[in-house]
Structure 1
């Protein structure tokens, strides 16, 4: 039986077709959004004394990264949740001391403004990254910014932008909410032009595990177009680490808990033992 509603639905699908994550139009669109390296300030990075040297959890994660990639020069990274590219950035040392380059992705316009004024030497991309195969409209929540913003507390607050679905009632009440388009992770990687990635990072206030699981699953189903040596993700939600470890092992990775919120997946090809 033919109905007018079915016709409208069908026309809408024709007008707004569902795109694959490797759709050439979408990849070109994101590629045009990638900006040249900021190289602000004096244009130099100082790996000996990063801004987070007194933050215990990040010191532990940073030590793990340095142990693993101590002898690897000229590697490639993609950091989703780069914040300002300086504070709590897990790719700072790799870029400063080992000559790595990659893509710094940040969804919060305020953080991205600071990123564009940083001394980083890698391209930047101002978009929200999400799971799935199609772009979506999402609500993001930014924690209220304390004054002065350049204190330790203020810098932590600036790193607490999150998708609405991970926000607490307090976050929603005290924070600022806005809507933006979020793009599939695989589309972002395709736009960057990276097929071999040494380090992939999901560093966000909520959703790190979901992005990890989605990437591992979808990438495998598509025939592993992106080969990643190591994945670092942050997640404070309760997860079944045993199940994750078994799933990672089936895909050729070893799952390690560095801190209560920071986790590493090391591909077996690395052959590196942490000290």
Structure 2
């Protein structure tokens, strides 16, 4: 298999999954968002949206979910709605770590009520299947967002959840899946491992929307959030950035401040593990 430091090159008309020789020269000739990578993702990996009106999620859940009081979700969600409620355009979003398409979603209301178009990214095979059964009106892809921006293969760790947990704690545990590299060695045996394809957010966005820009980018992963943001190239733009990440170190707090400085964004909300930034520059999507 054509692997180098965990990097796997896709098999397609343009790309090769198996190599006899060192892959470095080939990898250095393509960008992570090269048209060949984007074309493969669009044709072979992205699932289409379901028609509007097909969604299997009750309206009450969309408007006022049972988990609204968890981790300041309701307050943060209101901040987003205040930003987008009178938006003059049909907005676009990418939600990384979309789970089952319902639980703790920051995009469900925007999609179903405000008519936004979106891309849902979720690597866990069982959660992804649940998402598709809910028939969201957004594109979706079963993959992880590459913390480096480069496509490669990795291992996803999913915690083994006790059957007797109440519904909401159970969904919280199910949503705690993460790349194995972010799991303490002592916890490795507490979960199940799945192979997963990691893809750059820029390539994913180009594959769905044709431009490297969205109105809203949500990154909700357990581990690698700041690395994923840092990997975004300058050509990628977003009006609003939502990070679900508990900053527990000086390095992570510094990374939050760096977003404001290097990405020209202002933090407009930061409670518990939810942080919302808005661009200081006009974004044309």
Using the size of structure 1 for normalisation, the TM-score is: 0.82
Closer, same or farther: CA 59–44 of 1 in aligned 2, 3 Å? closer
Q: What do you get for the CA RMSD once the two structures are aligned?
A: 2.6
- What SS is found at the alignment partner of 2:161? coil
Closer, same or farther: CA 166–111 of 1 in aligned 2, 3 Å? same
Closer, same or farther: CA 95–243 of 1 in aligned 2, 3 Å? closer
Match of 1:35 in 2: 47
| Structure 2: distance between partners of 1:56 and 1:13 | 44
Closer, same or farther: CA 51–30 of 1 in aligned 2, 3 Å? farther
Match of 1:58 among 69, 73, 76: 73
Closer, same or farther: CA 148–98 of 1 in aligned 2, 3 Å? farther
Structure 1 residue 106: Cα displacement: 0.7
Between 152-161 and 34-43, report the one with greater CA deviation.
34-43
| Structure 1: distance between partners of 2:241 and 2:197 | 24
| Structure 1: distance between partners of 2:72 and 2:212 | 30
Contact kept in structure 1, 2:202 and 2:212, CA below 8 Å: no
1:174-224 CA-to-partner distances (Å, cap 9, x unmatched) read 111222221222221221224331100111111112111222xxx22xxx2
| Structure 1: distance between partners of 2:55 and 2:260 | 41
Closer, same or farther: CA 38–175 of 1 in aligned 2, 3 Å? farther
- State whether structure 2 residue 263 is matched by structure 1 residue 263: no
Contact kept in structure 1, 2:149 and 2:231, CA below 8 Å: no
Within 5 Å, which residues of 2 pair with 1:168-207?
Answer: 168-192=184-208, 193-207=210-224
- State whether structure 2 residue 181 is matched by structure 1 residue 165: yes
Structure 1 residue 114: Cα displacement: 0.3
Gaps of 5+ in 1: 1-8, 271-275
Closer, same or farther: CA 200–144 of 1 in aligned 2, 3 Å? same
Structure 1 residue 60: Cα displacement: 2.3
Gaps of 5+ in 2: 1-18
- What SS is found at the alignment partner of 1:12? coil
Between 202-211 and 170-179, report the one with greater CA deviation.
170-179
- State whether structure 2 residue 64 is matched by structure 1 residue 49: yes
| Structure 2: distance between partners of 1:45 and 1:20 | 42
- What SS is found at the alignment partner of 1:98? coil
Match of 2:242 in 1: 232
Between 176-185 and 198-207, report the one with greater CA deviation.
176-185
Match of 2:35 among 18, 24, 31: 24
Closer, same or farther: CA 10–107 of 1 in aligned 2, 3 Å? closer
- State whether structure 2 residue 231 is matched by structure 1 residue 214: yes
Using the size of structure 2 for normalisation, the TM-score is: 0.80
Structure 1 residue 137: Cα displacement: 2.1
Contact kept in structure 2, 1:60 and 1:259, CA below 8 Å: no
1:237-271 CA-to-partner distances (Å, cap 9, x unmatched) read 4244356325523432112452221112210147x
Between 82-91 and 118-127, report the one with greater CA deviation.
118-127
- What SS is found at the alignment partner of 2:276? strand
Contact kept in structure 2, 1:245 and 1:254, CA below 8 Å: no
